[in-house]
Structure 1
Amino acid sequence: MEKTSPSKIDLVIQAREKDLGGFSVRRALPYATHRMVGPFIFFDHMGPAIFDPGHGIDVRPHPHINLATVTYLFEGRIHHRDSLGSDQVIEPGAINWMIAGRGIVHSERSMEPERSQGGRLNGIQLWVALPEEFEEIPPSFSHHGKETLPRFKQKE
């Protein structure tokens, strides 16, 4: 078998802290020299965060158009609501896939009992640019529970 040399690394992107109003994420994209990487517009790492009792994530209703978001949690729970009538709790190992298309309004908030007792949150959210021909499609939301997703095991 022929050996190949490792490829040269052209760029290392350092995520920076971004305050979202009482909650910070580490945002890798957009980056100064790379507004997008492929279709990815935003790449945020939420946490790991520990919330004191009475506190949590409160992303108030806000609009999106012409993109999709993918949310995956490692720890904690978030309550998603949107203008389509979706009312969904995302838990670790599940995926929320929201396609904004021609427009959607949504919110993301901490839940009880985590809000009153304090809790943890750790996850990622990616914003994906829709191809131009799909930018004006009707909005949609789908939730994929962890039991419906493939599982990967590391070799021991």
Structure 2
Amino acid sequence: MSFISPTLGTLSLEEMVRNIAAFINEDPQAKYKVVIGTDSHTGSLSTLFVTALIIHRLGKGARFYYQKRSMRKMTDLRHRIYLETELSLKLIDSLKACGLFFVLSEWPIEVHIDIGKQGETRQLIQEVVGWVTSVGYVAKIKPESYGASSVADKFTS
């Protein structure tokens, strides 16, 4: 499982966790927010999923990392939204398993979902937001879901 840091290049999960820990140790008294969001783009042959992880030091900057996965072409929007959400939740589980549990238990974790009150995805809001909140995280939808609709979206092409 590898991630890309715009400043450091390709990192393993363990390297990314160490980099996040170093970022937090630079200012351990600061308040932080963890944002995870996934977006996808379906091309002619496959669907590309990009999951972004943002560690926001409130009022003092942020770091972000992203992961790309190419899967078989998916044209069903509902299925794609569910898979985007599942990939975001799986990343949280991976981070916890890699030793970031202390961070993830102290600060709010927001799962940014690429759905909103406009367009086809509005019918999915209640069930997808319900899923994320039922497992203990804060769910954000458009226009507040910048982790998915801006950061991850930037790398889907």
Is this a same-fold pair by TM over 0.5? Answer: no
More strand by share: 1
Q: Could you state the TM-score of these two structures normalised by the residue count of structure 1?
A: 0.27
TM-score (ref. length: structure 2): 0.27
